[in-house]
A and B are shown apart, each in its own frame.
Chain A
Amino acid sequence: NAGVTQTPKFRILKIGQSMTLQCTQDMNHNYMYWYRQDPGMGLKLIYYSVGAGITDKGEVPNGYNVSRSTTEDFPLRLELAAPSQTSVYFCASSYDDGAYSNQPQHFGDGTRLSIL
């Protein structure tokens, strides 16, 4: 039972390059999330999705794009990478938004990204 799988685990990018962080889950969860974790700060929501074909911005969406063509996959794309995007990125999924249940979010192992 893989849960939430993120790739790659580590990546170094040059300023201006682009890349896609992959996230897939095998729990048939409708809700998926992308967070970034900066030193000394709590996780911040970048984008989220409530189902295939539906995405919405979180607190810190600038410089990122997402898509959700399937229930399983929720890739995060960085266009024109900037040093401010150096962070650890976490993908998570959940059964619902918590309105009707208290099912927790399940997290991937994270992607450590450095922009130089």
Chain B
Amino acid sequence: KNEVEQSPQNLTAQEGEFITINCSYSVGISALHWLQQHPGGGIVSLFMLSSGKKKHGRLIATINIQEKHSSLHITASHPRDSAVYICAVRNSGTYKYIFGTGTRLKVLA
């Protein structure tokens, strides 16, 4: 079993829909990182979380440390949100990152 699990692996949505991507992890962490990888391949940091909730535009990220779970929400989704979303946790013992395999999101116009 991977130490970082994301669900779903693939997601297709209609423009305007509310989207949720989930991340569960099994190790102790000092922080959790949500990343976005566009079809061109570049990786961009969206959020870094150690507790609670963060919001940036239409994106909201939450984390529940006790349940070892984080969610990334996209409100009013748009075709330009189509990308792979990657969850990564920073191991609190080693400070190394462990990456999930990503959720491939496609938003249709």
A interface with B by C-beta (< 8 Å): 35, 40-45, 58, 88, 90, 97-99, 102-110, 112
A42-B86, A42-B101 given; A102·B50 CB < 8 A: yes
Task: Return chain B residues, CB-CB under 8 Å to A108.
Answer: 42
A97-B95, A98-B90, A102-B48 given; A107·B43 CB < 8 A: yes
List the 6 closest A-B pairs by CB distance, nearest first: A42-B99, A107-B43, A109-B42, A97-B95, A104-B45, A43-B99
A99 contacts B95, C-beta separation under 8 Å: yes
Cβ distance B63 to chain A, nearest Cβ, rounded Å: 12
Say what secondary structure dominates the interface of chain A. loop
Tell me whether B14 is interfacial, beta carbon within 8 Å.
no
Interface 1/0 per residue, B74-109 and A, CB below 8 Å? 000000000000101010000111111110000000
Task: Return chain A residues, CB-CB under 8 Å to B95.
Answer: 97-99
Tell me whether B22 is interfacial, beta carbon within 8 Å.
no
Kindly identify which residue among A44, A88, A103 contacts B48, using a CB–CB cutoff of 8 Å: A103
From B101, which residue of chain A is reached at the shortest CB distance?
A: A42
A105 contacts B33, C-beta separation under 8 Å: yes
Tell me whether B64 is interfacial, beta carbon within 8 Å.
no
C-alpha spacing A26/B83, complex, angstroms: 27
Q: What are 7 A-to-B residue pairs whose CB atoms are below 8 Å?
A: A35-B99, A42-B98, A90-B43, A98-B31, A102-B48, A107-B44, A109-B42
C-alpha spacing A109/B39, complex, angstroms: 11
Task: Return chain A residues, CB-CB under 8 Å to B102.
Answer: 42
A45 contacts B97, C-beta separation under 8 Å: yes
Task: Return chain B residues, CB-CB under 8 Å to A44.
Answer: 99
